[in-house]
Amino acid sequence: MRRMTAALALTLGLAAPSAEAAQGFRFDSIDGGEIALDGFRGQPVLVVNTASQCGFTPQYDGLQTLHDRYGAEGLVVLAVPSDDFKQELSSEAAVKEFCDVNFGLTLPMTEITHVKGADAHPFYKWLKAEHGFAPRWNFNKVLIGPEGEVVDTYGSLTKPTSRKVTRKIEALLAR
Distance separating alpha carbons of residues 172 and 99, to the nearest angstrom: 28
Q: Is 97 helix (H, G, I), strand (E, B) or coil?
A: helix
54 an active-site residue?
yes
Is the CA virtual torsion 130, 133, 138, 143 positive or negative? Answer: negative
Spell out where 51-121 has E strands: 76-81
Active-site residue, selected from the candidate residues 8, 19, 36, 54: 54
Give the contacts of 70 (CB within 8 A, at least 6 positions apart).
169, 170, 173
**Residues annotated as part of the active site:** 54
